[in-house]
Amino acid sequence: MMTRRGILAGGNFIIDHVKLIDAWPEQDMLAFIQSETSSNGGGPYNVLKDLAAMRCGYPLSAAGLVGADLNGKWILRDCEVAGIDIKHLRQTDLAPTSYTDAMTVKSSGRRTFFHQLGANALLGEEHFDFSSTQAKIFHLGYLMLLSEMDRLLEDGRTVASRVLEAAQGAGLLTSVDLVSSSCPEFRQITAAALPYTDFLILNEIEAGSATGMDLRSGSVDLGRLQKAADILLQGGVKREVVIHFEAGAFVAERKGGVHFHSSLNLPQGFIAGATGAGDAFAAGYLHGTHEGWPISERLKLATCSAAMCLTDPTPSQGVKPVAECLALVERLGYREMG
C-alpha cells in the first residue's frame, strides 16, 4: 500500500501586482501609489509558496494552467526556485496568464482586487491527473474564480466536484477554499463540491454566502458559526469545516467536536498588508493536518502563519519557518474575546 506524503495544490495560479496606496479614492478621484511589487497570487500558488517558506519538509506540487507568455514563465520559474514540482502545471497559448492588481491601503492594510481571469478560466477536468501523484492532500482553490471548474452540469454537479471526486478516488484527502464574491450561483457551486470535500476552509463571508446566513457581525457569535458549519457538514463535508475570521477561527468536525481559537494580539503598525492572509491560514492548517497534529495545534499554527503573512504587503514574503511562526505567540499573546 502506498504511503502518501506531500500536498498537491491546484486551481488559480496568478501574478499579483501589489500596489501600496496612501488612501482609497472616491470615484473619479486620485490616490498615490507609494510602492509596488509583483508576487505569487491565487489560493493554491500562495499555499504552496507559504508551505515552502515554512520549510514543511515534504513534497509540494502545483496543478493548474498558465499562459505561454512571460508571466507564465515567471510563475514556472518561481515555483521551481521554491522547490515546488511543476509537472502538473501546464501552459496554454489560448489565454494569457491570470493576474490581479491588488490595491492595499497603507494605513489599514485593507485591500481591493482587480482581476484578469486569463488561463485560469480554461482550467478543466482534463488538466488533472491523480494517477501519478503520491501526495497525501489535494487542495483546490478558489471556487467562484475558476470559470470552467465552476460550470454547473445538467446533473447539478460541477466540473470541480468531478475533479475532487477523482482525487478522493485516487486516495487523496481533499481540501477546498472559496473566494469572497457576489456570484449568483455561489450556494449551488459550493453545494456541488461539499460531498467530495474532506476539509472545507473558508472565511466568515464565504460561509455566510454558502449557507444564506449573515456572519459578518462585528462580534463573534459561536452559535451562529456552529449553525453555519452544521449546514455545511450536512451538505456533505466529510471531516471538518474550518471558518476563519479576524478575531479567530472555528472548526466543526463531522464526528461532533467543535473548536475555537483566538487570533493573535497584534500591536498597532504590525500589519503591512492583508493580501494572502487567508491562504497563509490555510497553509498552516494543512501543514498540521498533513502531520497529524491535534486540531488545537493546527489552529495555533494557522493563526500564527496568518499573522506572519500580515508583516509584508505580498501574499507570502512575510511567512517564516514553522518554529518562527509559532514563536509569535510568546511575543504577542492572544487577543481577548468578548
pLDDT of residue 160 exceeding 60: yes
Average pLDDT over residues 30-52: 95
Dmax of the chain from CA atoms?
A: 62
Domain boundaries, the chain: 7-332
Residue 217 pLDDT: 60
pLDDT, one tens digit per residue, over 217-237 is 666 688 999 999 999 999 999
Q: What is the pLDDT of residues 67-114, one digit of tens each?
A: 999 999 999 999 999 999 999 999 999 999 999 888 989 988 887 889
- pLDDT value of residue 1: 64
Residue with cell 506531500: 6
The mean per-residue pLDDT over the stretch 117-127 comes to 98
Q: Which residue has the higher pLDDT, 151 or 104?
A: 151
pLDDT at res. 338: 53
Provide the pLDDT for residue 48: 98
pLDDT digits (tens, 9 = 90+) for 311-333: 998 899 999 999 999 999 999 99
Confidence tier at 214 by pLDDT (50, 70, 90) = confident
Domain 7-332 fold: UDP-N-acetylmuramoyl-L-alanine:D-glutamate ligase (3.40.1190)
Collect all residues with Cβ–Cβ distance below 8 Å to 28 and sequence separation of at least 6.
none
What is the rounded CA–CA span in Å between residue 112 and residue 25?
12
Parallel, antiparallel, or unpaired: how do β-strands 33-41 and 60-67 relate?
unpaired
What distance in Å separates the CA atoms of residue 198 and residue 167, rounded to the nearest whole number? 11
pTM for this entry:
0.93
pLDDT at 216 over 90: no
| pLDDT at site 218 | 60
How much is the average pLDDT of 141-166? 97
Report the chain's mean pLDDT, rounded to a whole number: 95
